[in-house]
Structures are given as structure tokens and as C-alpha cells.
Structure 1
Amino acid sequence: MKRLGTVVGAGVLLFLASACANPQESQDNAGDTRPTETSAPAEEQPDRQPARTPPSGGEKVAAAQLDTKALAKGYPVMVWTEDDGRTVGVVAQEGGCGKASVEPAESAAQVVITMVETTPKAPQACTMDLRYPKLTTELKEPLGDRKIVLKNEQRKS
């Protein structure tokens, strides 16, 4: 008899817990077979993967025009131009407490873009994530046929 009381009590508790869990959600979704959207729209989500296509209005720079030998292995490579070649965009990489920036240097033959990740000098708690911000830089002259040399480095602030 004692055992029956325990089983009945546990059943009643389970019933009450499931009934009180989220009654509005059960009623709202009753008969609805569509998936529920639980994330923000794509344009509001942070970039978690490197871009594979240039942003709207950008024109991808051909691989033959890029020199990526100085990039770290696995560094994302996406380069595009905007404004008739006067603006060059890249996908950089940053993580944790790091902040990405770009430093351009131009000559008649090439444009060198150094992607810099700056991290704090003092040790501190940081997240363990990678982000891929899209950064742009203005050129003095349109890119034209010049080669783009990509480099990356890390610095302490």
C-alpha cells in the first residue's frame, strides 16, 4: 500500500509539472505543424563562418589577382571591390578579446592589405570563439589590374 501511494503521488506530481510547464505554448502550437523560428533573422546574426560571397554590391576579386602566401594556414580568403575598385573589402578573423582591423599599403604594382588582430596586453577572461568581420579600406587609386597581397598578424595593445 505504501508503494502504491508513492507511485500515485509521483504520477500526480508529473502530471502537475507537465501541465504547468508552458500551457500557453501548448495552446498556441496546437495543430500547427510549421517549425518555430527560434533565432534572429540572418542579417542580425553575427558571422560565425567566413563569407563565401561578397556583400551586395561588391564584386569578388579573382583568385589570380590575389597573393595569399603570407597568410596563416586556414585563414579565410574573401576579397571584393566596391565603388568602381576604390574600396577593397576583406574577411578578417578575430576571437575572444581580439579586435580585427586592416592596414593598406599601395604601390603602382600592388596593394598590400595587412589584417591585424589586436588583443589586450594584460591577461583577462575572454570567450573562446572566432568571428569573421567584413572590413573595408579606401584606396587612393582604383584597384584595376594591381595584385592584392594579403597578410595577417597579431598584436598586443
Structure 2
Amino acid sequence: MRYSTKLIGTTRLAGAALVLTMAAACGSPTSMANAPASGTETAPPSGSAGTSTSVPPPGKPQFDPPQGAQRVPDNRVDGAALPKTFPKEVYSDNGGTVLVVRAEEGGCGHALGEAVEQSAQKVVVDLSETKAQTGQMCTMDLRHPVISVALGAPLGERTVVLKQSAPR
């Protein structure tokens, strides 16, 4: 009886050591140092060195407004068409030719924004989200990234009207 208990304990210890060794080898900094990049890192666009703009690249939502972006005063942002809980935060950047808008996305969707109307009095920004692929499992989280929207002319004193359309 004593022998079998020692044998079982030794087997468990050896198995645990094997599992720990494999786990350490898979996640060790040494094994990761030479691993190929995951593809999520992006290099700055060529020719961007020395430019003064801090606009987030299109299609790459961030969670903080770009450094140097100016908040558009709340009295010049009309978010009445958005759901009550939707953020109504807008910044101008790049001399007012780019709006940086706080959007909403969740699960597998990604926020989209487009200036659908630009007049002397207002700029209408349509906010939507990409549709999740059918059959794809998605988390139920809610995110509020900032996205950039190009304008044809600087914002100036125009009002920004935010609206939301169905997922695309």
C-alpha cells in the first residue's frame, strides 16, 4: 500500500512538472522574442514624419481623442437623433478639416462615421456600425471609440448634427 501511494504521488509530481515545463516554454519571453509580429501593429504611413496632424487613421478607432484636437462646444453639437445613452462628444482636428467623433460599437461590430451632408450652417455625421458575420460568436461588450470623419472644408462655426443609421 505504501509503495503504490509513493508511485501515484511520484507520477502526479512528474505530470505536473511536465505541464509546467510546457507552459513555461510556450509563454516565456525568450520564445516570444523571436516570434513573428501578430499583424496588429501598424507602422506610421510613409511620409508622415514631421507632419503636425494627430488624426487617427481611417478605420482604426482609438479610445482617446488625438492630442491637440479641439473639443467642439456642446451648443454646436446636435445629438437629439441619437439614443439617450449614446455619447455626444465631437472634436475638430487638422485645422478643422477632420471631425473626431465619439462613437459606439459592441461585440464584433466596428464603429463607422461619414459626413453625409455639409452646408454653410451644418455638417451631418451619420454614425453606424459594421454587422457581425452570421454564425460568429461575439462578446456583449460596449465600447466608445473615437473615429475620424473628413470634411470638405474646415468646420468653422457650423453645427455638427449627429445621427445613427442601422448597422451595415
TM class by shorter-chain length? 0.5 to 0.7
Which ranges of structure 2 fall in alignment gaps of 5 or more residues? Answer: 30-39, 42-60
Query: Within 5 Å, which residues of 2 pair with 1:7-156?
Result: 7-20=5-18, 21-22=20-21, 25=24, 51=63, 53-96=64-107, 98-104=109-115, 105-119=117-131, 123-128=134-139, 129-130=141-142, 132-155=144-167
Percent of pairs with identical residues: 31
User: In 2, Cα distance between the equivalents of 1:130 and 1:78?
Assistant: 16
Q: Provide the aligned length of Structure 1 versus Structure 2.
A: 135
Whole-angstrom CA distance in 1 between matches of 2:10 and 2:136: 46
Q: TM-score, normalised by structure 1?
A: 0.64
When Rg is computed on C-alpha atoms for both structures, the one with the higher figure is 1
Greater share of strand: 1
Taking only aligned residues, the RMSD between alpha carbons, in angstroms, comes to 3.5
- TM-score by structure 2 length? 0.61
Counterparts of 2:9 and 2:87, CA distance in 1: 55
How far has the Cα of 1:85 moved from its partner? 0.6
Alignment partners' CA distance in 2, 1:50 and 1:77 = 16
Query: Partners in 1 of 2:147 and 2:83 — Cα distance?
Result: 18
Q: Which runs of 5+ in 1 are unaligned?
A: 30-42
